[in-house]
Amino acid sequence: MRYLKLVIGIAALLLVLATAFVYYYKFAGPDEIPSKAYLKQGVNQALPEAKAAKVQDRVKVDERHLFVPFINQEGFYALSTWEWKNHKWRVSFVDTDGEPRVWRIDKNEPQSYRLIWNINPHDQVKYMDLYLMRKRNFVVSGGVGAYYPKVQMKHRVYISKKPYDATRLPSDWQQVMANLGQIGQDNQKQILGNQNLYMGWMSFNNSDEIARPNSPTNGYGFGNGHESIDYVMPLDKMDLEN
């Protein structure tokens, strides 16, 4: 019985240590944004083929996520994303091709989605139109029909002013995604997956003609497996109405 106090004491101490440990690794937020040198090194370690040369910016998209656009040794404008995990900043995604992507930081919250891109302003691209799309469709089953209107919502961004960005989705896109998402099957808010919504883009030069940025012929990419960074489809005039 004498040892009971001792056992309780040790158990309490272990509990306190375990709590501190868990807090430190899982919950404690970052103290500061890492240096450009640290980020450059991190990208090259994760993906040596990236050959990062110059980090353009360190964009804090939320408490635990960073968007780090960089230029590589071959002059290509590239993307990387970072997350604060287990008390360390870690690279979660790299792509030497800086064409637009949609980063779904929290899959269930369209408010957290960010459109990311990095395009060389000398590549003739003056502005880019991003689209939220859904194909027009109809279904007839057992004599009962249903019609699904086409969704095509445009959002224009100017590259010449700023070659990269990690912008939130336009508020009307978020409205539409929230509306369509609530009637998804299985009560799951699979905003992009279930409702057949997808995003597309088209870029233009000074003379308002379609002009694609210079992409590396052999792009290289890295992903940590659980970051959700989706493709934004390159479109041409045939894919659009009006």
Using CB under 8 A, list all residues that contact another protein: 136-140, 144-154, 172, 175-176, 179-180, 182-185, 241-242
N- to C-terminal Cα distance for the chain?
85
Helix/strand/coil for 57: coil
Beta carbons within 8 Å of 11's beta carbon, 6+ residues apart: none
Asked whether the beta carbons of 128 and 118 are under 8 A apart, the reply is: no
Q: Looking at beta carbons only, is 74 or 109 nearer to another protein? A: 109
Asked whether the beta carbons of 103 and 95 are under 8 A apart, the reply is: no
CB of 150 to another protein, least distance (A): 5
CB of 99 to another protein, least distance (A): 23
Whole-angstrom distance, CA of residue 212 vs CA of residue 204: 7
Q: Looking at beta carbons only, is 186 or 209 nearer to another protein? A: 186
* DSSP secondary structure letter of residue 135: -
CB of 218 to another protein, least distance (A): 37
Q: Looking at beta carbons only, is 208 or 241 nearer to another protein? A: 241
Estimate to the nearest angstrom the gap between the alpha carbon of 74 and the chain centroid.
24
CB of 140 to another protein, least distance (A): 6
Q: Looking at beta carbons only, is 164 or 173 nearer to another protein? A: 173
